[in-house]
Amino acid sequence: MIKIIITFLSYIFILFNCNLAADEVDGKLRIGLLAPFTGEYKSLGESLLLSTQLALAEINDENIIVVPRDSGTNDKKKLNMAIREIIKNGAKIIIGPMSSSSFEELEKYRDTIFISLSNKEPKISNNVINIGISLESQMRTIEQFLIKQKKRKTIILYPTNEYEKFIDQKIKSLKLKNFKIFKYNPDPRVLTGEIEKITNYTKRKNNLEIRKKVLKKLEDPQSKKELEDLERLYTLGPVDFDSLIIIDFGSSLKSVLASLIFSDVSDEYVLFTTVNQWFDENIFRGNSVKNLYFPSVNMKEFKEYNKNYYKAFSMKPDEITILSYDALGLIYYVWNKNNGISSIDDFFIKEKIKGKIGTFEFKDNRVSQQLKMYKTENNKFKEY
């Protein structure tokens, strides 16, 4: 299967280049694709290319020509070489790069528009549009959800790691109301003790023991019934918050959830939310929180995309590749609407654009996605 895919990818490269060489007629939409076809993220680059091929097949317009080039991984020389080759072949719009670390290099190419898959900054700056699922879009979606649920005391939790300062800045810029911030050490050996502090676990546990001692001295039926009920508890008394937003992923997220449950924080009384999990079913394994809510892309469209990708290439796509699929569709939509694309201003359109990941909106010099809220329930994802 791997050999078949490699052969197919080689064919795509040849086909794209042949189309470029054969076509000298105006009216064609040439789109560059920057992806890591070598290095550590080679498999991701190949998946991005296949995703673009899938979008081309579904659009079915011979006027679109894609020019793929290897951007490498954290290789400025290779990145610049790839961009120059794409521009030389007539493309003024490029899908990529994936990472915002390359943005300084993109400023050299002011006449070229880059549709980046980065989720770091939704602001449209100079010649770059980011269509990744931004933290800003996710937090706004969660905020509206909590307002509808009438939650008024929310704690935002996130780890002290390399993304800490970025999250600090984003949360500060959002100017959220009724929120408190708590940062935790991702080391599981330290984490539980930290979670116990914000949940006031020691005091609540002592409250339980004190109340049980009082009830044990009483003989009336009501006291005995209360004591029987308290024997099933670990703590007594509520926590000082009604909702949580946990900005974390994978095993680290599970550790936080486990520590919260250990500290006797029940999702029956506290609403647990987290950020986009890309419908990763690993969240069900080792997770004792029954109801966990998160904003995400359109699940129906996401599943359909995965299904079509697998049908076409007999392999599963990387999650981020749905962004390159939507990027090509977005470019094609704007190109058709404006009878061409002359500058980044052509993307500032009033109406919302529906894509696979959700609905795009270009407003106040920013890109936002209208995301939906989902929940985990009985080892399934459900739209809320």
pLDDT tens figures, 242-279: 999 999 999 999 999 999 999 999 988 999 999 999 99
**Within 10 Å of residue 22's Cβ, how many Cβ atoms?**
8
Determine the average pLDDT of the residues in 358-371. Answer: 82
For residue 142, the surrounding DSSP H or E stretch is helix 135-148
State which residues form the domain around 250: 135-199+239-296
Domain identity same for 286 and 303:
no
Torsion (CA) 285, 288, 292, 296 in degrees, nearest 10:
-10
Does the CA dihedral 157-161-164-167 come out positive or negative? Answer: negative
- Is pTM, for the whole model, over 0.75? yes
- Domain membership flag for residue 306: yes
Domain identity same for 106 and 255:
no
Q: Which token pair is 155?
A: 């704690």
**Cross-strand pairs, 244:** 155, 272
Is a pLDDT exceeding 50 seen at residue 14? no
Determine the average pLDDT of the residues in 232-236. Answer: 90
| 51 neighbors 309 (Cβ within 8 angstroms) | yes
For residue 187, the surrounding DSSP H or E stretch is none
Distance CA 116, CA 39 (A): 20
Give the pLDDT confidence of 70-86 residue by residue, as tens digits. Answer: 998 888 999 999 999 99
Looking at residue 26, what is its pLDDT? 60
Is a pLDDT exceeding 50 seen at residue 9? no
| 127 neighbors 113 (Cβ within 8 angstroms) | yes
With pLDDT > 90 as the criterion, what percentage of the chain qualifies?
A: 66
- Domain membership flag for residue 375: no
Q: What are phi and psi of 369, to 5 degrees?
A: -115, 135
Site of tokens 């390399």: 162
Least confident of 99-113, 135-149, 207-221: 99-113
Is a pLDDT exceeding 60 seen at residue 25? no
Q: Which of 164, 314, 146 is nearest to 243 (CA)?
A: 146
Residue 286's CATH number: 3.40.50.2300
Is a pLDDT exceeding 90 seen at residue 42? yes
Give the pLDDT confidence of 131-175 residue by residue, as tens digits. Answer: 989 999 999 999 999 999 999 999 999 999 999 999 999 999 888
Looking at residue 4, what is its pLDDT? 41
Looking at residue 10, what is its pLDDT? 44
Domain-terminating residue out of 296, 322, 343: 296
Is a pLDDT exceeding 80 seen at residue 23? no
Q: What are phi and psi of 29, to 5 degrees?
A: -100, 110
Q: Tell me what the pLDDT averaged over the chain comes to.
A: 88
Least confident of 106-120, 147-161, 340-354: 340-354
Domain identity same for 49 and 109:
yes
- Domain membership flag for residue 21: yes
Domain identity same for 305 and 263:
no
Domain identity same for 79 and 184:
no
Distance CA 33, CA 321 (A): 12
Domain identity same for 17 and 93:
yes
Looking at residue 27, what is its pLDDT? 80
Give the pLDDT confidence of 273-303 residue by residue, as tens digits. Answer: 999 999 999 888 877 788 999 999 999 999 9
Number of domains in the chain: 2
